Copies of this chain bind each other. A is one copy, B any other.
Amino acid sequence: MEKIRYISNRGVRHELSDQIFGRICESNSNAADHIITTIKDESNCMDFQFNRHTTSTNNILDYYSGGKLHMPADICPQKFSEELDCWGLPETALDTCCFTKYVSYFDNLNILKVLEEGECKRNTMFEIVATLAGGNGWRSVQARVWSVMEYPTSSVLAKVYLYASNAIVLLSLFLLVSSTHPLFRRKLTKDEWFDYFTTEEEEMYDDYWNETLNDTGIKLPSHVYVEIGALWYLKMITLAYFTTELICKLIVFPLPWREFITILNFIDVLALVVMYTTLIVNQVNPKEQYKDSVHDAVHSLQIFRVFRLFRLVRHITGFRILMYALRASIGDLLVMLLGLCTAVLLFSSLAYHSQDSAFSNIPDAAWWAIITLTTVGYGDIYPTTIQGRLIASMCALVGVCLFALLIPVLVNNYHLFSSHYAGIERRQNLKIQLLTRKTAVSPK
């Protein structure tokens, strides 16, 4: 007769026939050894007390009895993974439906690591600076100034500095934008014109001044206009501020220099270099600044000044989450871009070969395809023949579907990070509260 053993787990009693017991022994694993040894040792007792998770144990013993292995819904996959380890079962023993859930849970945990590590590094650096600031000597002064400049939550002064510094950045951005608008530009004066231009350009000069005096509104090349004086003075102020700030930062930086090389600092330095280059070029050879070639080269560099706006948003939680989410979704974004490229290439070729006069060559058709796929639809290029319109309709439909299909993946990551971040923040705040409470209690 078969020997029947019983396992009692938190009030639930399981029959364990020889056959099933054999299967448990076969799962050749160190983790399961503990269970098997216990059962074998006390084999005269026939009834074992267990103390493991109820529904998991039920499901695992059902699996040994010949069924399929499912994960109970009332347990975190992480805890279930511990249960599996204990019984020496591989995770692939799980049935397809539950395995999908199990894997996507751990995938999500992996994705969240990016966020955890980033925030952890931030917090660690803040704590190092805070510790240094609590010390004595030059290092402590450095750390105190640095926390004013970098950590707006550390003190009231830091908050004030943040607002002042952001105001200057906003001013610098306003200067960049407004200096291109007619409202903030003036024509060259007669003297400037006369001083800087060569005699060969004399005729141009004559035409120019006659036209201006008559206010005929003929369009002149944009570099003939220069920004008004007020803007120039404001620009000098921002230049002075950014230079001072960078020097201060270099003096008081309390951490290993390796940490100084961040993207934000790089942008700061670059924007300053651009401003000084413009200034020097204009001073060294004033005549040249009105020449097209030099003007264009110097002009294009100004674009680096706009990246300063990332300084404004770095302390906003929503942006940090967005950045982490984007970094984690880089793979999905590339697939989306590739999908878009495929669609663009396909539809632009189709459109060009449809012999619709709207599409004169494939690169033009590609531009039209992108604008149609994103449903922007400027209307600068549009088909007029039946075959062209059929292709355009398909293009618009594919665009709507393509974005609808691929965006939820991004959204999913953002959601994940957003809700997880709330947890991290709560934990951090509780930690700080406990620390302050302890400090308040200890003097007693």
Contacts and interface: CB of A to CB of B under 8 A. Distances in A.
Contacts of A103: 419, 422-423, 426
A128 interface: no
Given A10-B58, A100-B422, A404-B411, A78 B70 contact: yes
Which one of A102, A325, A380, A400 has the greatest number of beta carbons of chain B within 10 Å?
A400
Interface stretch (A149-157, A239-247, A255-263, A371-379): A371-379
Interface residues of A, number: 126
Nearest to A102: B423
A68 B80 CA distance: 12
A13 B10 contact: yes
A411 B322 CA distance: 17
Contacts of A361: 180-182
B180 A352 contact: yes
Contact of A377 (B346, B352, B378): B378
A167 interface: no
A386 interface: yes
A1 to B, nearest CB: 17
Contacts of A410: 401, 404-405
A309 interface: yes
Contact of A51 (B14, B355, B379, B384): B14
Interface in A100-146: 100, 102-105, 107, 109, 112
Given A362-B177, A405-B410, A76 B82 contact: no
A364 to B, nearest CB: 8
Interface stretch (A89-97, A187-195, A278-286): A89-97
B74 A72 contact: yes
A380 B71 CA distance: 58
A92 B430 contact: yes
Interface string A399-421: 11101110111110011001110
A342 interface: yes
A404 B403 contact: yes
Interface in A388-402: 389, 392-393, 396-397, 399-401
Given A67-B82, A103-B422, A400 B405 contact: no
A276 interface: no
Given A109-B97, A397-B374, A405-B411, A339 B319 contact: yes
Nearest to A366: B177
A325 B405 contact: yes
A177 B386 CA distance: 14
A75 interface: yes
A46 to B, nearest CB: 15
A176 B349 contact: yes
28 contacts: A10-B13, A12-B54, A14-B51, A54-B58, A70-B78, A70-B79, A71-B76, A72-B74, A92-B427, A96-B109, A99-B427, A103-B419, A173-B345, A176-B362, A303-B349, A318-B331, A318-B339, A340-B397, A367-B393, A371-B393, A374-B396, A375-B376, A376-B396, A378-B378, A380-B384, A400-B403, A408-B411, A408-B414
Given A400-B407, A408-B414, 12 more contacts: A51-B65, A74-B74, A78-B95, A96-B420, A97-B109, A100-B422, A181-B363, A300-B355, A372-B376, A378-B378, A404-B411, A405-B410
